[in-house]
Structure 1
Amino acid sequence: MEPTKENIKIKNSIIKFLEDTLLKNSDVGTKLLTTNIEGINELLPQIVDDYRWECIGYWDEDQTGKSSLKIDRIYNSSKDSDVINFSCDVENFPPLELIPDINKLSKDDVVWILPISSTNRNWGVMSYISPFNEASAFIKYNISIVIVTLLGIAMDREIAKTELENALETLKQTQNQLIQSEKMAALGGLVAGVAHEINTPIGVSVTAASYMDEKNNEIINLFESGKLKKVDMDKYINTTMESIKILVINLERASNLVKSFKQIAVDQTREEKRTFRLKEYIDEVLLSLHPKIKKTKHKIIVNCMDDIWIHASPGGISQVITNLVVNSLVHAFDDGDEGIMTINIINENDEIIIEYSDNGKGISESDIKKIYEPFFTTKRGSGGTGLGLNIVYNIVTNEYKGKIKCNSTPGNGTAFIIRIPEKEVIKSNGK
């Protein structure tokens, strides 16, 4: 049977419609797979062709748990939108009061309803009015179903992205809080250690002062009774000089401890930059760590030129040195070991290079890859928190814009090489 001119015309019309629709909807579909929520809203008028009116209702649940469809905008034939705030039950969707005057519609116009859903969630319902064409209506409807499904998937993706971003932000805040807690815990340990350390010179000074008071009373009694002899005076002078020497040494020791602790404590709780001599400051940091180190047989050697001045937040330097030393004390040595920790600082090739090393156990190759991760530790429950080297890494890379590298093999100690751009911190000869 020969096809009629009318059939050929309908066939060509369908082919042309499919070509145009595939081209247009391919572009819309691609955009839906990559755009954000605002982009999705801009694409809504393009999802359906040749409509007189369009609206979308999203599922909304009130405090009683009852679900309804919330409509926030409707689109007219020119694809302009009117923002509204309207809710209705699903059985009354689309709401008659929002549909254009029925007298203005063509007799071929039909109200179409499409679900907006993905495999994970029902988002709502789309409704639009467009003319019914027997040749293309159902093809058009099926394509619209695909596009609206892509819309649901795009909304799934955007909600998941938002939830992931919120979760990451919460994790960052939690990590920052834990790091601050770790810093304050370290400061608390420093307070306890320094307080214990100060007790020794203060106790010796009190004993020396009491002894001097006793000898003063003895010499006064001898003088008042007329029994004071030259030998008694010589003995008193020698005793007094020795006691004064003990007082000066121990009070100066206590004063240095207080001064060092005060500066380190302030630096660890504030981030203001100041100019300071690097070696002198590192010596102060190590002095504040003396209560921890003196319980061991370890030695710390510092090699640094006296004329290196830097302008930076000293709290960062304090935390880097403190955490590296404590890391060695906790992980590198067993009780009773006589370890050596070395800090070499040089200024070359427009960089400040801090080389910290110990001659301890070393680190396995598998663990080296994870040492900067927050909460990673091989000594949980035995003094390790897993935050020390994470703090060091963040200070070096974020605050000082530098780099840090760890070299270690089991049994051969560990070395950290820190490179800080000279432009970030350097001041030579105090200038």
Structure 2
Amino acid sequence: MIKGDLPRDDYREKKLQRLEEIKNERKEAGVGQLIFEKEMFNQLQAMTNAGVWTFDTQAMTFHVSGGIYEVYGLPQDQAVKYEDFLFNYVVPEDTWVVEKIRQDVMSNKQQVTCDFRIIRQRDRKIRWVQSSVFPILDDDGNIIAMTGVTMDTTDHKNKEFEKSLEELNSMGEMLNLLGHHWKQPLQIITLKAANLAVSHELKKEKDTSLLNALNDIQESARDLSNTIQEYRKIFITAPEEKNRIFDFQQQIQKQFMDRQEVMEKENIKYYIQVPQNLNDFSTPHTRSIQRIFGELLDNAIEAIQRNTNRIKQREDKIIFRVEDYKLGKKIEISDTGGGILDGDFWTVFKPFYSTKQDRNNTGLGLFISKMLTNLHLQGTLELGNNDIGGTTLTIYIPQIVELHS
């Protein structure tokens, strides 16, 4: 043995000891790195107001991060189930969206991203969330798990809502200014045409074509003025009121009374079906609901008026039905206006869509109604043909209507 060398056993023990030290150092470094990464992950979640979850489709186990508890407003010590996130915490009207996400991921095995509304558990307020779901596949391409990132997007939705209102108000102000500048020229045109018509009436020999042309000029000027006023009503939004009970029976009756003259002229009957035991419905959006009801009722009346297949023996009618539906109300407005073609279902809610020949029609009624239902009421507006020879517009409004507060 060379001087200075350690005995073989001592050398081996020293080497093992050093290896153990290196192992511990690496282990500590790894734990430290994991702690650091976890802290960074938690900070990222806090900044984005998002949470992560994983569902093992084989073991049927569900794991969530702390961010999910925050997004859904759950106590940190509460046990969570996959079914709760699919159904119990989601606004009932949006459960079909969540179910569709699950089905699309399972069938297409691709990432799916979608927006839907949840009921935050700590304060029972509705919040908008965006969820991106990713499938995890095994070597054979079978789904063994799904993982997702769910983010609260309510603030973003509020900003979109504010932007939409600003744009509508800007258009309203522009139309208001335009109407002001056009008012005097239109009055002059109408007055001149009326004077010419009166002067011509006093003559012994009358030119019928000239009188008809003058009448058309007056009518066109009036129509143009009325159209500008209609656009102003649509685009200028009034501020909402404080939360109060909405009386469906009274409000619907008022809408029909406002249109009683035209309905009697067209021999259109109406029926209001509101159960006496209907649960109270409180909302700060009374004006929006009134406006939606008015637009949809006008749409039903005009559908009956333009129906070329009206049968004299059959009663033309409009049925307004309200019922409790999950957390809110379902309102159905049915008419006998002839229904709608399959190809039009995708276009009726687009702005400026209209099948009506009336010059005063703006083609914005259904578009505005859908926008107000979605943004103000957090509800949905759907359209379908019915079995009484027309269409049924169905509105779903959740009881909790405080997205914009």
Rg comparison, structure with higher value: 1
The one of the two structures with greater contact order (alpha-carbon pairs below 8 A, sep at least 6) is 2
What TM-score do the two structures reach when normalised by structure 1? 0.36
TM-score, length of structure 2 as denominator length: 0.38
